[in-house]
Chain A
Amino acid sequence: MPFHEMFEPDGSIRPCYAEVQNWVERTGIAGLNRRMDEAEAIFRRIGITFAVYGEGGDPERLIPFDLLPRIFTGQEWRVLDRGIRQRARALNAFLHDVYHRGEIVKAGIMPADIVYRNNAYLPEMADFTPPGKVYSHIVGIDIVRTGPTRFEVLEDNCRTPSGVSYMLENREIMTRMFPELFEQGMVAPVDDYPAELLKSLKEVAPPACKGDPVVVVLTPGSLNSAYYEHSFLADLMGVELVEPADLFVDEDRVWMKTTLGPKAVDVIYRRIDDEYIDPLVFRPDSLLGVPGIFNVYRNGGVTLASAPGSGIADDKAVYIYVPEMIRFYLGEQPILDNIQTWQCSKPDERTYVLENLYELVAKEVHGSGGYGMLIGPKSTRDEVAAYAERIKANPHEFIAQPTLDLSTVPTLGPAAVVGRHADFRPYCLVGKQIRLVPGGLTRVALTEGSLVVNSSQGGGVKDTWVLQD
């Protein structure tokens, strides 16, 4: 039986959920379901949606919201907090290393191929050090719980991890609908995240910046699936939300076009991919992007957050080496474990994967968002066979992991509280200091037994509480 976050194996309530249990009993399942409809109406009205491409129907969808919070005790959080910060430091050290001397490769810890022949590695970044030596300014780490004291890292996101707006809005909705739950002050607040983000971004202003740094959020535009989040963050930080066409380069600075004429920009929190940043450097065929911006960046005229080329640190093939990175760069033992991972590029690991595929989870190295994965135990014989052929054809494109005994979190069903699998994504901010608000985004698979929590695959979200001791 997987670990249930609310109930002990004997059916009793884990102490951290006692207050929630009282609340469920007071309100009743029917009452909670009514409140759930109200919450959905609020989300719809204030427009918290994400776009789903190419499926027809409503182009702006709500992510299903579940009323029952996911809870960490203060003690659990302290471990997570230290582990997350440690990982964020190691990933940034790794990025600096691979774009400079490559010590980790020279030391024989990582094979050169994985780094230098990787699509996410940008030779254009070599020998350049971004302000403050920070590459990944917002590190989103996906964590699953596999036992009472066991947390494992599923994936690192060093580019533009999304979803933080849901962390904030979920809390907003919960405090609006159930103020009594928060009155006792037992839940640590997360609402200073935007202020912390702005501080972190200002700390990495470029050398050319004079005075208070001008920060902007760069979005591909209002049709992007995460546009709501982009505008939400710009709004909460009180900075401009710009599109590529609002920016241009002149005299070694980046400027935005305003009604008062051009205004210099210092720090760009960009939510567009590397290849669309600068058509002069990366993709000449792209209409997106700001011509010349990369050159300005390298000359210290602007800071890009996150740095181009940061994707090499969250590549699934590189992931395997993160514990080694922690030992190598920080001289520390990893606080959070990796999930055991087999690389199909290695012959004996590939043999093991192919022989055991029906009980493993196999993933594409470059895939994201739950696309292109195979969940062995839930697949038909034909699906497994077809996937095996894909692995044989391009072994270096695949990794595999055991199907984990993921914990289940309490989730509101039509007639009872049920257990559903969930993961957790905290957002670690890296400037001159490392900052972490006590919380993150809990994503939950809404179908019984399902392990897929991605919003693009029908997963939902819930508020995450860190209890103050």
Chain B
Amino acid sequence: MLSRTAENLFWMARYMERAEATARLLTMGQRMAILPGAHHRDEWRSVVRATGALNHFPEGGQVTESDAIAFLMLDLDNPSSIRSCLLKARANAKSARTMLTQDMWEALNEGWRKLDSYDVAEARQQLPALIDWVKTRVMTFRGAAHSGQLRNEGHDFLRTGSALERAQMTLRLLDVKYYVLLPETEVVGGNRDHYQWTSVLYALSGARAFHHIYGGTYTPWQITDFLMLNRLFPRSVAYCYDQLAYRLNRLAGWHDARASCHDTVREMVADLEQLDSGEIFRVGLHETVQNGLMTTNRLGAEIAQAYHFG
């Protein structure tokens, strides 16, 4: 497979994951904004922060719902906005079109300029419908890849991209919540905490799954266990890293060659297996998450190097 094609598939999957993640974050923001005391917590700032765009809004002023929707959904200057992600995913797909099934292409091509016609006021009014639309696009795309794409290396590059992006998003959310939450809370696990932590679960579409596994109580330890270490939850860091290890091993098999990315992923999987949530809090949640983010970023660069991306 052409290196450029592999790179396009990898990034196409990342952009689609990111578009969906941002859509879920917007849902979370709206949900949190209607809870008591939302104004003081500046929920929308933490939503923006979770996308990695830390510096876009200066400290001090309030980030309004309109600001957040404009920035995260529509703004083409924001490379992580939903609109940017969908356009870039389609451009990647167009460039690697011969590696996509017709259904995958159609999922990306359907209404690809839809968001061009929205201004902030309309987008705000139609937010739930737009979010549903984005999620449907992403899920149709994912389903088309899952059910139709050849299980060749192209599929492995695609799945590597989505697993990497997912791991990163889950880690970032944990980190944001650490920042937003811990400094202002005396007792970890207090009442106000509750909203914050459940919001993380909602942002990852994991609230119901969490109940089924841990029962009705929220504790930071359990939620951290769920999001970092629980291999049943497909957005947990451990699950994503298992996927990365599996996909990268398959790529090593196709190419009969290993590279530094294979060592990195193996070490990270081993680290995650040794951890429990008690250990995470002893070491420090922030430190653990920061290390995870650094490893994940490095892994992305190593994959690009191993397979001769651009």
A-to-B contact residues, CB < 8 Å: 45-47, 58, 221-222, 227, 231, 234-235, 240-243, 245-246, 256-260
Answer whether A259 and B307 are a contact pair too, CB < 8 Å, given A222-B95, A231-B98, A245-B4.
yes
- Residue contact A246 to B109, C-beta cutoff 8 Å: no
- Residue contact B94 to A227, C-beta cutoff 8 Å: yes
- Residue contact A259 to B255, C-beta cutoff 8 Å: yes
- Residue contact A46 to B153, C-beta cutoff 8 Å: no
Which 9 residue pairs are nearest across A and B when measured between Cβ atoms? A231-B97, A235-B98, A222-B94, A259-B307, A47-B109, A222-B95, A257-B3, A259-B6, A234-B98
Instruction: Point out the residues of chain B lying under 8 angstroms from A246, CB to CB.
Output: 2-4
- What are 9 A-B interface contacts by the 8 Å CB criterion? A47-B105, A222-B94, A234-B98, A242-B2, A246-B3, A257-B3, A258-B2, A259-B157, A259-B254
- Residue contact B91 to A222, C-beta cutoff 8 Å: yes
- Residue contact A45 to B109, C-beta cutoff 8 Å: yes
Q: A230 to chain B: closest CB distance in Å?
A: 9
User: Quick check: is B106 within 8 A (CB to CB) of the other chain?
Assistant: yes
Q: Specify which of A58, A227, A241, A256 lies most central, judged by the most chain B CB atoms within 10 Å of its CB.
A: A241
Instruction: Point out the residues of chain B lying under 8 angstroms from A222, CB to CB.
Output: 91, 94-95, 97
A157-B308 Cα distance, complex, nearest whole Å: 38
A227-B110 Cα distance, complex, nearest whole Å: 18
- Residue contact A257 to B2, C-beta cutoff 8 Å: yes
Q: B310 to chain A: closest CB distance in Å?
A: 9
Tell me which of A45, A245, A257, A260 contacts B255 (CB under 8 A): A260
A231-B98 Cα distance, complex, nearest whole Å: 6
User: Quick check: is B1 within 8 A (CB to CB) of the other chain?
Assistant: yes
Q: B117 to chain A: closest CB distance in Å?
A: 12
Residue in B closest to A242 when the chains form the complex, CB atoms: B2
A242-B95 Cα distance, complex, nearest whole Å: 9
Instruction: Point out the residues of chain B lying under 8 angstroms from A235, CB to CB.
Output: 97-98
Q: A47-B105, A259-B308 are in contact. List 5 more A-B contacts (CB 8 A).
A: A47-B106, A58-B113, A222-B97, A259-B1, A259-B251
Tell me which of B94, B105, B113 contacts A46 (CB under 8 A): B105
Residue in A closest to B251 when the chains form the complex, CB atoms: A259
- Residue contact B2 to A46, C-beta cutoff 8 Å: no
Contact with A along B86-127 (1 / 0, CB 8 A): 000001001101100010011001100100000000000000
Question: Which applies to chain B's interface (DSSP): helix, strand, loop or mixed?
Answer: helix
- Residue contact A257 to B308, C-beta cutoff 8 Å: yes
- Residue contact B4 to A257, C-beta cutoff 8 Å: yes
Instruction: Point out the residues of chain B lying under 8 angstroms from A245, CB to CB.
Output: 4
- Residue contact B153 to A259, C-beta cutoff 8 Å: yes
- Residue contact B106 to A46, C-beta cutoff 8 Å: yes
Contact with A along B285-303 (1 / 0, CB 8 A): 0000000000000000000
A47-B5 Cα distance, complex, nearest whole Å: 19
Instruction: Point out the residues of chain A lying under 8 angstroms from B113, CB to CB.
Output: 58
Q: Specify which of B94, B105, B110, B113 lies most central, judged by the most chain A CB atoms within 10 Å of its CB.
A: B94
Q: A168 to chain B: closest CB distance in Å?
A: 14
Interface size on B, residues (CB 8 A): 24
A234-B255 Cα distance, complex, nearest whole Å: 24
Tell me which of B1, B5, B110 contacts A45 (CB under 8 A): B110
- Residue contact A243 to B102, C-beta cutoff 8 Å: no
Instruction: Point out the residues of chain B lying under 8 angstroms from A258, CB to CB.
Output: 1-3
A58-B157 Cα distance, complex, nearest whole Å: 31
- Residue contact B98 to A240, C-beta cutoff 8 Å: yes
A234-B99 Cα distance, complex, nearest whole Å: 10
Contact with A along B61-100 (1 / 0, CB 8 A): 0000000000000000000000000000001001101100
- Residue contact A46 to B98, C-beta cutoff 8 Å: no
Residue in A closest to B308 when the chains form the complex, CB atoms: A257
Instruction: Point out the residues of chain A lying under 8 angstroms from B98, CB to CB.
Output: 231, 234-235, 240-241
A259-B250 Cα distance, complex, nearest whole Å: 13
Contact with A along B1-35 (1 / 0, CB 8 A): 11111100000000000000000000000000000
Residue in B closest to A247 when the chains form the complex, CB atoms: B2
- Residue contact A241 to B3, C-beta cutoff 8 Å: no
Q: A217 to chain B: closest CB distance in Å?
A: 9
Q: A197 to chain B: closest CB distance in Å?
A: 15
Answer whether A45 and B106 are a contact pair too, CB < 8 Å, given A241-B98, A259-B255, A260-B255.
yes
- Residue contact B4 to A46, C-beta cutoff 8 Å: no
Residue in A closest to B102 when the chains form the complex, CB atoms: A46
Instruction: Point out the residues of chain A lying under 8 angstroms from B307, CB to CB.
Output: 259
Instruction: Point out the residues of chain A lying under 8 angstroms from B94, CB to CB.
Output: 222, 227, 231
A396-B91 Cα distance, complex, nearest whole Å: 43
Q: B106 to chain A: closest CB distance in Å?
A: 6
Answer whether A259 and B3 are a contact pair too, CB < 8 Å, given A47-B105, A240-B98.
yes
Instruction: Point out the residues of chain B lying under 8 angstroms from A260, CB to CB.
Output: 1, 254-255
Instruction: Point out the residues of chain A lying under 8 angstroms from B102, CB to CB.
Output: 46
Q: B264 to chain A: closest CB distance in Å?
A: 18
Instruction: Point out the residues of chain A lying under 8 angstroms from B251, CB to CB.
Output: 259
Q: B258 to chain A: closest CB distance in Å?
A: 14
Residues of B258-310 whose CB lies within 8 A of A: 307-308
A231-B100 Cα distance, complex, nearest whole Å: 11
Residue in A closest to B310 when the chains form the complex, CB atoms: A245
A245-B2 Cα distance, complex, nearest whole Å: 11
Q: B162 to chain A: closest CB distance in Å?
A: 18
Residue in B closest to A44 when the chains form the complex, CB atoms: B109
Tell me which of A221, A231, A256 contacts B2 (CB under 8 A): A256
A358-B41 Cα distance, complex, nearest whole Å: 77
A380-B4 Cα distance, complex, nearest whole Å: 52
Instruction: Point out the residues of chain B lying under 8 angstroms from A240, CB to CB.
Output: 2, 5, 98
A243-B254 Cα distance, complex, nearest whole Å: 24
Q: Specify which of B4, B157, B251, B254 lies most central, judged by the most chain A CB atoms within 10 Å of its CB.
A: B4
Answer whether A46 and B109 are a contact pair too, CB < 8 Å, given A231-B97, A241-B98, A257-B308.
yes
